[in-house]
Structure 1
Amino acid sequence: MENMLVGDNARPFHVVTPVLESIALSQAAGTKVYMKLENVQPTGSFKIRGIGYFCQQVARNGCKHLVCSSGGNAGLAATYAARKLGIPITVVVPRSTSQLTVKRLEEQGAEVEVFGQAWDEANKRAMDLAEADGWVSVHPFDHPLVWKGHSTLVKELKDSLDAKPGAIVLAVGGGGLLSGVVSGLQEVGWLDVPIIAVETRGADSFNQALQAGRLVTLPEITSVATCLGAKTVAQRALDCASEWPIISHVLDDVEAVKAIEQFLDDERILVEAACGAPLAFLYSGYLQQLQEERHLGQPLDSVVLIVCGGSAIQMEILQAMKSRLGME
């Protein structure tokens, strides 16, 4: 285990990520698109921002053992942070988790336990372990410290861009990124920048909660975008919708997977299906549709796409998703 001082001046575990203009996405969306490349974070996704920050704070308070429920990016972020802090970690993953992810978690030093069919069941198991053994549970998306860590992304946008964007496009799984971005926008004073929150059908717990006006638990996750697969979003995500201009959009798995391939061709970057959802929103002309329906301003100076990344992707996994969706 690699020990690190956790004084007040400890450096964060995330890196400042590039903001690049995408010509291909700009042409598709009919407006200038900037990509915030969270895929280049140390663990491959934005998750290290919030989870790294959470782990540093609990380490200061004397945490002796971490436990995290995650079939992917959150678990990798927590494991990375635990290794840097010299704290042991147990990661509980659902059976839907790929062997690739389990192997990566173990290589980083996590003790991995497989439990339950979906993330929600793995999370209950993690909570039980935390309670029984006095461990600190790292929630993948539902904690104020996690949102605070994610909010740093917006400060970086403000430092990088000449002017505030006309909208921010992002994926919603459990709602941690959404909650963090809203917090960040409030902090930097970009109070009228709408957020377009994109999900895939079969993992659309945020959209269903908005329609119902309360939290909704999906019976199961049927989307291939398993990293968007929280059957219930965080209450904070739903609260954000009443205090911020958020447009919820749901699209099909096939669109998300096509967008992954298009993005690989255009930008030479391979992302997972969760990240394919907001990409598909821009590639498929939905931005223009919202403008025509007057849900968004016209014209927009620019749009920021958060390329949330994702580690659970390889060419083999992409091919398997295409086969499952009959896209051969």
Structure 2
Amino acid sequence: MSDLYLEAIEQARVYDVAIETPLELAPKLSSRLNNEVLFKREDLQPVFSFKLRGAYNKIAHLTEAERARGVICASAGNHAQGVALSSHKLGIKAIIVMPRTTPDIKVKAVSRMGGEVVLFGDSYSDASEHAYRLCEENGMVFIHPYDDPLVIAGQGTIAEEMMRQYPGDLDAVFIPIGGGGLAAGMAIYLKTHSPKTRIIGVEPVDSAAMYDSIKAGERVSLKQVGIFADGVAVKKVGKLTFDLVRQYVDEIMLVDTDEICAAIKDIYEENRSIVEPAGALGVAALKKYVRNTGARGQLLTAINSGANMNFDRMRHVAERTEMGEGREALFAVTIPEKPGSFLNFCQIIGDYNITEFNYRLSSRKEAHVFAGISVSDSAKIAALEHAMLSAGLATLNLQDNELAKLHIRHLVGGRCDLVENERLYRFEFPERPGALLEFLTRAAGRWNISLFHYRNHAAAYGRVLVGIEVPPHEHDAFENYLDELGYTYVNESDNPIYNLFL
């Protein structure tokens, strides 16, 4: 099978529309990590993503009869643009089905490239099902975003370019994984022509469909998919890609939102380009690999896979970057409510810069403080936590607490003695016009809302924190009601940070 893929990669038709992207040295990151770090700049493609390669290779190999039928695909962004531009180049009709939650910038980009956009559903799964229906009804050719041999071969041309650009053996290559087409195509070629290279796939911790599938020994379907790195947010990987990744990829690493945001900043500081979250996965994992293994003097390459970033989302990225770099600590600390307590607490912090400090009187015995502290590295966070605990202060390290980072830091001081039987939930709902009003309308009624916090993160889904007064004997009925609402939710009623501040 590998010989067939190698031949397909070497004969792939991609350069009618795609460019050979540079393999660039990242001098700042190289110096900081004590390794030679290279970026493969797929963010420089005409559609700002590698997806153009596979889409064009597939469409260019269609027969005349197939071209006459036209093509169709489902995508929330990068694949859509690749199909639209490829079809336009070849004079073929293209229908692109996109979720209604797709940012307007991506919808307009597809339209400009000649694709006929159909908006349907709130998720990629909804759009995909509708695209298959339209495909059957209209007799069109479906262009799969990853689970197709010609698409996989098109993505594999990136590895072929890298071998020409750097003939020696790379020590490790870090490749983002969504459905698996990019990793599969590149891994086949690299394992043949650079067998000593360690091939490492990368997924977000909350969208680890390939990682979970390989661990299980079969393809699994995720119940819930994280939406921050939307370019790799898939519930189930492909049949072909699963087999190829399992055979040729050495390891899959997982990275979190903070690590991704820090990597976006690293890439920006190297070349002043702003990649999308999925495009930064490789750099995030590369940094983590160096931390975990202590690698020195190695040649490490990250695939910067795409740069279709919503401008508004950069606000959220900036907020999380410092934590991803281990340069901001967040703590919830309980101190005695007596004169001199704040002074003693500040003396423990010492010369560190305080980035955030929230406090409200909660009783005459003790006070709860929410503090953000600027540090030089993650080791200092552990030292600070140890110092606070050694001083006899109850301390919670909030680095991994999503509720604290997303909501609580903006709501400290919200405790109300009038509230009874409050339960706290985090919700996600499709971010489209009228969605917030729809949520409120559907959630209102039998139970009183005692807290509500919402922040727009310029993503496909909005995030809401809700406190609701529910008597104990109605807990089961309330949980059934939430299930019927149909929104993704997390019960945060037992989260310790909720009990401290709200």
Structure 1 length normalisation: TM-score? Answer: 0.88
Of 282, 301, 319, the residue aligned with 2:315 is 319
- List runs of 5+ in structure 1 lacking aligned partners: 1-7, 293-297
Contact 1:206 1:233 in 2 (8 A): yes
User: How far did 1:186 drift?
Assistant: 4.4
Contact 2:49 2:78 in 1 (8 A): yes
Of 304, 312, 337, the residue aligned with 1:307 is 304
Mean alpha-carbon deviation: is it higher for 99-108 or for 24-33?
24-33
Matching residue of 1:107: 112
Distance 2:189 2:124 in 1: 27
Distance 2:128 2:257 in 1: 25
Give 1 or 2: higher strand fraction. Answer: 2
Matching residue of 2:57: 53
Residues 30 and 239 of structure 1: CA distance in aligned 2, closer, same or farther (over 3 Å): farther
Letter in 1 for 2:165: S
Residues 180 and 318 of structure 1: CA distance in aligned 2, closer, same or farther (over 3 Å): same
Residues 139 and 256 of structure 1: CA distance in aligned 2, closer, same or farther (over 3 Å): same
Contact 2:146 2:180 in 1 (8 A): yes
Residues 55 and 241 of structure 1: CA distance in aligned 2, closer, same or farther (over 3 Å): closer
Matching residue of 1:4: none
Mean alpha-carbon deviation: is it higher for 65-74 or for 316-325?
316-325
Greater RCO (CA < 8 Å, at least 6 residues apart): 1
Matching residue of 2:154: 149
Matching residue of 2:136: 131
Distance 1:145 1:174 in 2: 15
Distance 1:61 1:44 in 2: 31
Matching residue of 1:21: 25
Q: How does 1:76-115 map to 2 (within 5 A)?
A: 76-115=81-120
Letter in 2 for 1:239: D
Alpha-carbon displacement from aligned partner over 1:24-54 (angstroms, at most 9, x marks no partner): 2223443111111111111111111111110
Residues 128 and 158 of structure 1: CA distance in aligned 2, closer, same or farther (over 3 Å): same
SS in 2 for 1:173: coil
Distance 1:181 1:318 in 2: 30
Distance 1:244 1:11 in 2: 26
User: How far did 1:322 drift?
Assistant: 5.5
Residues 246 and 10 of structure 1: CA distance in aligned 2, closer, same or farther (over 3 Å): closer
Distance 1:222 1:10 in 2: 31
Distance 1:44 1:10 in 2: 15
Distance 1:124 1:9 in 2: 29
Distance 2:226 2:14 in 1: 41
User: How far did 1:241 drift?
Assistant: 3.8
Q: Does 1:291 align with 2:296?
A: no
Contact 2:172 2:301 in 1 (8 A): yes
Q: How does 1:158-173 map to 2 (within 5 A)?
A: 158-173=163-178
Matching residue of 2:233: 229
RMSD: 2.3
Residues 10 and 236 of structure 1: CA distance in aligned 2, closer, same or farther (over 3 Å): closer
SS in 2 for 1:34: strand
SS in 1 for 2:179: coil
SS in 2 for 1:242: helix
**Alignment length, in residue pairs?**
312
Matching residue of 2:475: none
Of 250, 253, 259, the residue aligned with 1:249 is 253
SS in 2 for 1:25: helix
User: How far did 1:299 drift?
Assistant: 5.0
Structure 2 length normalisation: TM-score? Answer: 0.58
Distance 1:275 1:60 in 2: 35
User: How far did 1:275 drift?
Assistant: 1.3
Distance 2:42 2:74 in 1: 21
Residues 320 and 88 of structure 1: CA distance in aligned 2, closer, same or farther (over 3 Å): farther
Of 106, 110, 122, the residue aligned with 1:117 is 122
User: How far did 1:321 drift?
Assistant: 5.4
Mean alpha-carbon deviation: is it higher for 231-240 or for 205-214?
231-240
Matching residue of 1:3: none
Contact 2:187 2:245 in 1 (8 A): no
User: How far did 1:222 drift?
Assistant: 2.3
Distance 1:109 1:156 in 2: 29
Distance 2:43 2:146 in 1: 18
Q: Does 1:69 align with 2:74?
A: yes
Distance 1:151 1:96 in 2: 30
User: Quick check: which has more Rg, 1 or 2?
Assistant: 2
Contact 2:21 2:44 in 1 (8 A): yes
Residues 323 and 90 of structure 1: CA distance in aligned 2, closer, same or farther (over 3 Å): farther
Letter in 1 for 2:293: Q
SS in 2 for 1:92: strand
Distance 2:32 2:187 in 1: 26
